[in-house]
Each structure stands twice: as structure tokens, then as C-alpha cells.
Structure 1
Amino acid sequence: MNMPITLRGSESKSPARRALLFTFINVRTGCISCVYRSEWATSQVMKIGGVRMSLYRLLAADSPDRVIQMNKRTARKVGLLKGQEITLSYGMRKARMKVLINRKAAGNTLILPSRSIEKLKIVLSVTYNVRLLDDVLVIGPVIGMLYHQDGNKMEADLRENPNLYLPYAQSIRKLGGMLFFAAENQIDFHSGEMEGCVFNFETMAWERAVLPFPSILYRKVKATKALKSSFGSRLFNPPCYYKWKFFSILNKEPAFRKYLPETKNVITRNNLDRMIGKYGMVFLKPINKGGGAGMHLIWKEGRNYFARKNFTSEVFTYTSRQLNDLLASCEKNHIFQQPIHLKSYKDRKIDYRVIAVKEKARTWKVDPIIGWLGVKGGITTQGNRGVSGRYVEDLLKLQFNDSDEGIAQKVGEMKSLAIALANYLEGECGTFIDFGFDMGLDEQGDIYIFEGNTLQQLETPLSLNDHMMYGELIYCILEALKELSMEGEEPVSFDN
């Protein structure tokens, strides 16, 4: 587990005068390691999976419009011929170009007219991947990260929380391409432009720029109708389901049913009494809120009903009339759900966030799994102050005191289940990049699925102070977004 103790330190006194960015200390081994500015930089050629991948620099020149210049070797690497007519694609913009061989051009360099650079809103300070698809030359990736609906505090947030945001800059630097953060109120839907923040490695700061619509817009916040309409299939993760639909989709597949707590979306007194009679108590959960907000645990003693709201220890008593009023207010946006008797530790609930990520936009993998140890006496682990994150192996050891082999087997079961869920949900809902599945284990060690999050907050590894785990997660997600971005869907034309 690596914890940063210094950020953007002073220049070292070595002859190389390398600028110190981070100092990490591994709290398990005590080893200290440093990350320097030069180590964040990327060369013109990088290796991915043992394959050498070229990155390309773009330059602006006072040259004729609709001409792209490069030397003969670069043209051959890209797959272009002298005089070939192509469509250049950058984000959601495109322009027609003719290939011109320029012997004086440097290797891995594409020279574009200044007017085209301005029209396409190309950022020149980064290196790019290039992919020729038929007659379309895709330059990218151009990835937008949707911040929030309001961007007034975005620049300060990016600057003041480097542990959260610098891994994005580091990852895109390695992968090649341009990544920016932008809020919805910074989007001009008419012009196809947005004001966002791009990380500048020369100044080591996030800087504002006017940017084109990206080829991929990745979000961890709710999307408005305008966003969905403008970006369509370029919006990730796509809108798919809420809590009830999640259970409805999974319940269609017999293989998943044993993992699902009984769930009902018809909020009536009869359904409540039936589930209390069957399970002793029942959860009343909102379908449109996360983090355990608005959740009630309800049970009955004699003629009175009792409820405990999440985040509190207070128990409320409901008369029959008061309960009817509560249920009436929840008819359209709540579910009833069977409470699972989770295997706890010293009266502290335990569950797990199992993160599935689309590796290189091809196959699903699970990494990481974060365990949550709730507060003593809590009804869930969600949202409670005092909840602590733990490594999955450590928490399973607390729960079951099992052997290393037994723990590895249980971790493997959760991973296999998460991958099966991700594949199935993709088949039902469309292409995704990541899922966050909430799972728990009962007294017998049986696994239950409580929720599937498509807008999960990715910083959960930071609850362990594990910045390496967090960085690897961000890199994997951006690598998948890069692959999708370079597929060359039909962009918007800006030829005028």
C-alpha cells in the first residue's frame, strides 16, 4: 500500500536536476520510492503488451488548407500514400485532407494547417495515437471526463485534490491522447465546443481551454436529456437501469437467482406484511438514491410497526395510519428487499465493492475488490461515518477465520460472479466500461448481490490509502476508453 507524503517537491540537487512529483512510502514494507517529472513523460514509442506502439506529435504550419504533411517513413507507418484523399477525425470533428510528403518533416510528426488546427480545436501539447480506418485517419483518443453539472469549483477541485486527478493525467500521458475535465454548464451544444481543463506537464497545472466535443464522454454523474441526445452511444457508461430494473434484468437469468435477495417494487401493506412474516423484517429502499440514503429497516411487534433509518440508531414507532402514509409516499420510487443476515465481525456489518473493468475494451476482469467494515450496530455499511475500507483478504479473514486457500476460493467466486454479471448486463443494456457490484456473504458464506453501480465513484482504493491500486484502476479504464475512442465512429463535419 503506497501513501504519498510529498507532492511536487523542489528540484533535486543531482546533476540531472529532476523535479520531484511524489514520494511514496509502502506502509507494509517500509520501502520509499520517488516519482519524478521525467518519469511521467512518455517517449515517442511506448510498449503495450510487448508490442511497440508509436505516438505522434502534431504541428501547426502556415500551409495550404486541406493538406496534411509528413515524411515518407511516417506515411508508410500510418498506411498513407502521397496524394491520398482522407478524412481527418479528431474528437467529434472532421476535415478533408490531402496527403503531402515532406522530406524535412521529423519522424512521427504530422503537420497540419494552422486554420485546420483552430477549426478542429486540436491541442498540440500532447502526443497522439493514429489509426487509419478505410479513408478516415483517427487522431486521438480525445476523452472528456464529465465533472458535474456545474463547473464553478472544478478548477480549484482539480488543483487541490492531486491524489484524485493526477492519475488521469499520468495515465493519458502514457497511453497517448488528450483528456480533459468539463462540466455540463461549460458545454455549448450549438457550436459543439466545451470549456474544460487539460493538464499541462510543462507548468504542472490544470489549464482551461476551449475544446471540441470528445469522441468519448465518460461520466460518474447523472446525464441530462441534452447530454444523452448530443452524445448518444459516445456517452459512457450508458443510461441503463435503476435498482428495480437491475434486479428485474438479473432475475430473468436462472443462474443469478440464488444470489439475489427477494425484491418487490409494489409498495403495499400486504407485501410488507408478507415479507415481514417471511423474514422477520424488511428493507424499504429508494430506487433513485445511492450510498444508503433514505433506507429504512422495518419490523413489527404486536400491532405496531418499527423502523430504523440508515445512518441513525433511533427507532421510530409507526401506527397503522402513519405506516400507510409512509408507504403511500414511497409507492413510485421504492422497493422492498429481503434483509440478508450478513456474517459480521463484532456486531459490525461487512460487505464488498467488486469492481469489474473492461480490459482494453475487450474482456472483463475484476480488480480491485474493496471490503467495507461498518460501524458497530449499524443496519448496513453504506454511508455510515466510521465505516472503514479493508483489503478483501484481510476482511474475509476477520469474517470467517479461514485458511489462505479458503479465502482465495471465496475471492475467486466473487470475481467469477462479477464477470458473469458484467457480460450479462452488457448483453442486456449495451457497451459498458466498468461496473461496481455490492456483494455480501451470509453466515454460511453464500454470496448475495445487493446492487450494480454504473456510476460508481472510482476513488474507493484511496480508502485503503492504496494509491498504486487507484492509479492502476484509472489506467485500465482510460485504456478501454482509448480503444473505443479510436474506433472512428462518424464524427461531425467542420469543413467550411
Structure 2
Amino acid sequence: MGKTYTVQFINKSTKTIILPEAMRNKGKIEKIAFGTLFSACQTEYKKDLENRILISKEIVNKIKIRDGINIHLVIHDGTLHLGPLIGIFTAGFTKSSLRPTGGRSLFFSKYLSIQQSLGICAFIFGAHHINWEEGTIDGFIYAKEGFKQVTLPFPDVIYDRLPNRKVEKLQKIKKAKNRLRKSYSIPWYNPGFFNKWDIHKLIINDLSVSSYLPETYINPTTSKMEEMLKKYKSIFLKPANGSLGLGVFQLMYSKEENQYFSRYRDKKSRNRLKKFPSLEHFLKHAFQDRTLSDYLAQQGIKLIRFDKNQLDFRIHTNKDEFGNWKVTALAAKVAGKGSVTTHLNNGGVVKTLEEIYTNEQERNHIMHLLTEAAIKLSVSIDKHVNGFIGEIGFDLGLDQDGKIWMFEANSKPGRSIFSYPKLKKADLYSRKLALLYGRFLAEKAIKEPGRLHE
């Protein structure tokens, strides 16, 4: 992951940096940068420094770097870049310094607590923390004593962790985002939420992944739903911009009873199974306060089961420090009794593959199928979607014939599966790669800005 150096301050009246002797052959250094702040500098070298760099306080005050942090170094075109400095952009800040993002504070502390081991400086901030005239941000770092608000430069790269689509559409959020990306040319990764239909349209003609996609239609007519029910026995109706399994209906038709059955979660979060004499009766009941215009109809698939309950798989993929896709987490989700989805908030439970498949040969075969599908899908989505994508969360299914299906791809995957103790290592691995990809982008922007295209 590259060598790191510890920053230490020195009392020198001049703008001086002192580097290990081994760095003398790296070329002449005339400037030092942290994030988007620069300072001219005089460079000296010392034999006994090893993994330390010394910076005079005059430079420190100008570039806003902190004492004692471990950083990665990039030397390019006469400038020593410290960091990189990664800004994690979010919203929902509170007035509490202990929990600046309320219930999500633990989520962010887990990211920020690993930065030093990677030679990265990271912080969280919102649109209202930006000081446009000074070119600084009053962001939150995480140290031994907890969260602390400090003034930092604009970052080298920004990791988008906005909490939901509603916040993403706010004018002040969009303005800040556009200004940082366009006026300051700061690379921004995971820039938006995926729309299920948009993703389907983008990759359906990609032969490397099209076989993973269930038959799907937007704004389905009653005749189209009837046609799909005849063909597949059951269909799913899903909001194109939905998440967490909210608003999902499973619709089935019994030829023997000449009745339609729907499985769904009601407004009181109860799993329900209700029958209807006609499709029109179902639609009147289920869509009385909404329309099908932003809904998808998707073929029903007979999934494999565990303890008589259907299951699917959550796979997290991340780009690593070289920009390559890796599977960082793989877990099974077993549906709760009577649930239309396997989401944990609907009563689903997490299991490891070892708990589902006791036969090692079978387990390895399933792991290979899921891993292959997740990597292929990640590459395809990355190729067809604008912007820098660093992570994707997939919901994949395995049918009773052994075929893999993609139900959903999330650009900002939830991390509820990582509450399962047996996924602790996967949790850490995925967080590390989320930041290391930021380092990859930052270095690319420094060394090859002309080749970095969104």
C-alpha cells in the first residue's frame, strides 16, 4: 500500500521541509501541497529521519496540516504532495461535537479510524462547512478523543456519502457539488444513486452480463403484467428509485383458484399475504396513492431456499489502490417468514456461505459463480455510467437451476450485513478499499490530470 511518513513540526523561521536522505534522488522540490493549498519551500535532507518528514511552522500555518499524522507522499513536477486529503461529503449534521452526524457518526468513525494505517488523511464535511473565499473547509476529523472540528484545505478527492436521494436533490447540495467538481476540478467518486431502470437499460445489451438480468419493464400495463404472470407464475413490482425493499410487491396468479395473491409489507411494517379476484382489484388496493409510472415489473424467479425460506446474496465490490474491481464481502440473506424480500428490516437474517453450504466443493463453486458475476457486472456498470465509481453493492439470486440473477445494484450500499460478527474482516477490507481508491484517484489527478475523465 506504499510507504508512509510521520509529519513533525519544527521551529524554523524559513519555509523549510526536511526529508530523509533517501529521498534526495527524487528530484528537486520547490513547493509543498496539502489538498489544494500550496506553499513554496526550501528542502533539506537528513540521514537519521527514516520515516519522518519535518515541516516548519510557517508552512504548517499556510497549508493547514496537522502534527503527528502518517501520510503518503507523491512527488511530481517539483511539488511534494502530502496525503492524499480525502473529503467525505455528507449531510444531516447535528450541533453535537461528539456525534456530528447523529446516528451515522459511528459509521463515519469506522472509516476515519483506519486512515492513518493507509497513509491517508480523511475528514467528513457538508456544504455548509465550506469557506469559499478562504479555500478551506471546517471539517470533522476523528482522533483518539473522538470527533474534532478543524480547518482543512479543499481535498484532493471527494468520496460521496450523501444519505439519500432527497438530500442529493437539494439545491445547496447540488451547487456545492458542481462548484467543487467544475471550478476546482476535484475528482468526485460515487457521485449519485443508481436508478434500477437506468442501470437495466445501460447494460442489457452488454453480452458479458445481459444473461444475469431478469426480464424487466418500466410502467407496466395490466396486459404486460398478465403476460408475465402467465410466463413466470409470479412477478415483482419494484419502485425504480426504491431502496431497503420498501414498496415492493410480489404478485402471483393461481389458475386453480382463479385468484391473484400479493405478498407485501404494509404501512405498519407487517408482512402480508392478500388475495384479489382480479388484477384491477390488486392495483386499486396497492396503488391507491401512487402510480405505476415509476415502477418496474420484473420476472419472478424460483430461488434456492434455506430452512424453507428463500435466500439471495449481498456482494460488495470495491476498486482497489490500482483501480481494479475486487469482491470485498459476500454473504447470504435469508428471508424472514412471509417476507417479500430478504432485507434485514423485513425480518431477514445474514449467514455466511459456510453456514449455508457445508460441502466445501459446492461452496467454492457457488462462491466462484457469485464472484465472477459481481466482477463482470461491476466492470459493465463502471463502463456505462458517468462518473467515478468506487464501490457497488449487489443483490444477486441463485435459482433452482443454478443460474445467477442480478436483482439490484447500489452505488451507496448499506452496511447492515456487517453487523454480523463473522463479517468483521470483510467490513474492514471494504472500508480500506473505499479510501485506497480515493488515493488512486488523487494520485492520478496529480500525475495524469489530462487522462482522468469522468
TM-score, normalised to structure 1's length? 0.76
Give 2:430's match in structure 1, choosing from 469, 473, 484: 473
Question: Residue 195 of structure 2 aligns with which residue?
Answer: 242
1:252 partner SS: coil
Question: CA-to-partner distance for each residue in 1:393-428, whole Å, 9 max, x for gaps?
Answer: 32244xxxxx31122011111111111111222222
Measured in 1, the distance between the counterparts of 2:207 and 2:19 equals 59
Is the 1:434–1:477 contact (alpha carbons within 8 Å) kept by the matching residues of 2?
Answer: yes
Q: 1:151 to 1:211 in 2, by over 3 A?
A: farther
> Where do 5+ consecutive residues of structure 2 fail to align?
448-454
Question: Residue 98 of structure 2 aligns with which residue?
Answer: 155
Is the 1:138–1:488 contact (alpha carbons within 8 Å) kept by the matching residues of 2?
Answer: no
CA shift, 1:305, in A, is 5.1
1:486 aligns with 2:426: no
Measured in 1, the distance between the counterparts of 2:446 and 2:302 equals 48
CA shift, 1:316, in A, is 6.3
1:55 aligns with 2:11: no
Amino acid at match of 2:199: F
Measured in 2, the distance between the counterparts of 1:267 and 1:191 equals 52
Q: 1:386 to 1:458 in 2, by over 3 A?
A: closer
Question: Residue 422 of structure 1 aligns with which residue?
Answer: 378
Question: Residue 323 of structure 1 aligns with which residue?
Answer: 283
CA shift, 1:330, in A, is 2.8
Q: Which moved more, 1:467-476 or 1:134-143?
A: 467-476
Measured in 1, the distance between the counterparts of 2:82 and 2:314 equals 36
1:241 partner SS: coil
Measured in 2, the distance between the counterparts of 1:55 and 1:260 equals 47
RMSD over aligned Cα, in angstroms? 3.3
Question: Residue 195 of structure 1 aligns with which residue?
Answer: 138
1:469 partner SS: helix
Measured in 2, the distance between the counterparts of 1:274 and 1:300 equals 11
Measured in 1, the distance between the counterparts of 2:331 and 2:63 equals 42
Question: CA-to-partner distance for each residue in 1:343-380, whole Å, 9 max, x for gaps?
Answer: 11233121111111212133222122011111122222
Q: Which moved more, 1:188-197 or 1:479-488?
A: 188-197
Amino acid at match of 1:422: S
Question: Residue 17 of structure 2 aligns with which residue?
Answer: 69
Question: Residue 30 of structure 1 aligns with which residue?
Answer: none
Q: Which moved more, 1:435-444 or 1:130-139?
A: 130-139
Measured in 1, the distance between the counterparts of 2:400 and 2:66 equals 56
Measured in 2, the distance between the counterparts of 1:330 and 1:253 equals 30
> Where do 5+ consecutive residues of structure 1 fail to align?
1-47, 398-402, 491-496
Measured in 2, the distance between the counterparts of 1:394 and 1:294 equals 30
Question: Residue 30 of structure 2 aligns with which residue?
Answer: 85
Question: Residue 264 of structure 1 aligns with which residue?
Answer: 217
Q: 1:365 to 1:228 in 2, by over 3 A?
A: same
1:211 aligns with 2:152: yes
1:376 partner SS: coil
TM-score, normalised to structure 2's length? 0.82
Is the 2:20–2:47 contact (alpha carbons within 8 Å) kept by the matching residues of 1?
Answer: no
Is the 1:348–1:375 contact (alpha carbons within 8 Å) kept by the matching residues of 2?
Answer: yes
Question: Residue 410 of structure 1 aligns with which residue?
Answer: 366
Q: 1:217 to 1:382 in 2, by over 3 A?
A: same
For residues 84-123 of structure 1, what are the structure 2 equivalents within 5 Å?
84-86=29-31, 88-91=32-35, 93-101=36-44, 108-114=52-58, 116-123=59-66
Question: Residue 31 of structure 1 aligns with which residue?
Answer: none
1:457 aligns with 2:439: no
Measured in 2, the distance between the counterparts of 1:315 and 1:190 equals 59
Measured in 2, the distance between the counterparts of 1:395 and 1:381 equals 15
Give 1:230's match in structure 2, choosing from 152, 159, 179: 179
Measured in 1, the distance between the counterparts of 2:10 and 2:226 equals 71
Amino acid at match of 1:70: I
Q: Percent identity?
A: 21
Question: Residue 337 of structure 1 aligns with which residue?
Answer: 298
CA shift, 1:319, in A, is 7.0
1:456 partner SS: coil
Measured in 1, the distance between the counterparts of 2:335 and 2:135 equals 46
Amino acid at match of 1:132: I
Question: CA-to-partner distance for each residue in 1:6-47, whole Å, 9 max, x for gaps?
Answer: xxxxxxxxxxxxxxxxxxxxxxxxxxxxxxxxxxxxxxxxxx
Question: Residue 309 of structure 2 aligns with which residue?
Answer: 348
Question: Residue 400 of structure 1 aligns with which residue?
Answer: none
Give 1:292's match in structure 2, choosing from 245, 248, 252: 245
Is the 1:352–1:440 contact (alpha carbons within 8 Å) kept by the matching residues of 2?
Answer: yes
Is the 2:209–2:380 contact (alpha carbons within 8 Å) kept by the matching residues of 1?
Answer: no
Measured in 1, the distance between the counterparts of 2:158 and 2:424 equals 24
Measured in 2, the distance between the counterparts of 1:152 and 1:291 equals 28
Measured in 2, the distance between the counterparts of 1:349 and 1:384 equals 16
Measured in 2, the distance between the counterparts of 1:345 and 1:463 equals 18
CA shift, 1:389, in A, is 0.9
CA shift, 1:449, in A, is 0.7
Question: CA-to-partner distance for each residue in 1:96-121, whole Å, 9 max, x for gaps?
Answer: 4143437699553232453x433433
2:400 partner SS: coil
Measured in 1, the distance between the counterparts of 2:118 and 2:175 equals 30
Give 1:387's match in structure 2, choosing from 337, 345, 348: 348
Is the 2:394–2:406 contact (alpha carbons within 8 Å) kept by the matching residues of 1?
Answer: yes
Is the 1:261–1:450 contact (alpha carbons within 8 Å) kept by the matching residues of 2?
Answer: yes
Give 1:376's match in structure 2, choosing from 301, 324, 337: 337
Q: 1:248 to 1:338 in 2, by over 3 A?
A: same
Is the 1:359–1:480 contact (alpha carbons within 8 Å) kept by the matching residues of 2?
Answer: yes
2:114 partner SS: helix
Is the 1:217–1:235 contact (alpha carbons within 8 Å) kept by the matching residues of 2?
Answer: yes
1:293 partner SS: coil
Is the 1:220–1:457 contact (alpha carbons within 8 Å) kept by the matching residues of 2?
Answer: no
Measured in 2, the distance between the counterparts of 1:131 and 1:85 equals 14
